[in-house]
Amino acid sequence: MGILLAFAPFIVFAIVDRLVGTTEGLVAGALVSVGLLLRDWIAPGRIPKILEIGTAILFGGMSLYAVLGKPAWSVIGVRLCVDTGLFLIVVASLVIGRPFTLQYAREQVAKEFWISPEFIRTNYIITGVWALAFLVMVIAELALLCVPDIPRRAGVIAIVLALVGAVKFTGWYPEHIKSISKP
């Protein structure tokens, strides 16, 4: 559940962006991001996570730019920026050797498994699947932005399938690994 809550700023952004406006959506996403960070700093035994820190920086920076710069962004253009930022956060977590899912998985798994090569490999794979899902989203948004003849529905379907696939895989894969690892 923790990993899904980490995506709350993106969900809030999408809803507020659609109902009220882009700048308001970015500010709402930034506020939710900061709220998640504060929760992790204040709650005993919790630490801020890579995804939540990156998300706060992403939405905070984009909010400042939207308020101070007053850019003329299209809806797809802003979503492309947000999703590209999300993709880069996830890829950066892989590059620095700390897949973002590892921090969430450690909240659900006994400490003795944290250094297990299987546990770490599983998190690299799950994070890679999330990176792939976000890449699909970026490509779909780029296509919608650059090729006006593509039906908007096709981009939306690609984005939804990518997200649903990543969520399902995240739930399925650890159980699958456990089932094939048992003697």
Does 160 lie in the same domain as 109? yes
Query: Does 106 share its domain with 177?
Result: yes
| Residue 90, domain member (yes or no) | no
Same domain, 182 and 124: yes
98: nearest Cα among 118, 119, 124, 75: 124
How confident is the model at residue 124, as a pLDDT? 97
One domain for residues 136 and 61: no
Same domain flag for 175 and 106: yes
Looking at the domain assignment, is residue 85 inside a domain?
A: no
Q: What is the CA radius of gyration of the chain?
A: 17
Flag whether 91 is in a domain. no
Nearest Cα to Cα of residue 180 among 118, 101, 128, 129: 118
Pair (68, 105) in one structural domain: no
Q: Is residue 181 part of a domain?
A: yes
Q: Say what the pTM is.
A: 0.89
Residue 3 lies in a domain: yes
What is the tens place of the pLDDT at every residue in 146-155? 998 999 899 8
What are the φ and ψ backbone dihedral angles of 40, each rounded to 5 degrees? -70, -35
Residue 90, C-beta contacts closer than 8 angstroms, at least 6 positions apart: 51, 100, 127, 130, 131, 134
- For the chain, the domain total comes to 2
Q: Could you give the C-alpha distances from 122 to 3, 78, 107, 144, 157, in angstroms and in order?
A: 15, 32, 15, 33, 27
Cα separation, 127 vs 55, whole angstroms: 16
With 0-12 CB in 10 A as exposed, 13-18 as middle and 19+ as buried, what is 76?
middle
Range of the domain at 152: 98-183
Note the pLDDT of residue 183. Answer: 60
Domain-embedded: residue 82: no
Per-residue pLDDT of the chain (183 residues; tens, 9 = 90+): 567 788 899 899 999 998 999 999 999 999 999 999 999 899 888 889 999 999 999 999 999 999 999 888 888 889 899 999 999 999 999 999 999 999 999 988 889 989 999 999 999 999 999 999 999 999 999 999 999 899 989 988 999 999 999 999 999 999 898 888 766
pLDDT on residue 3: 76
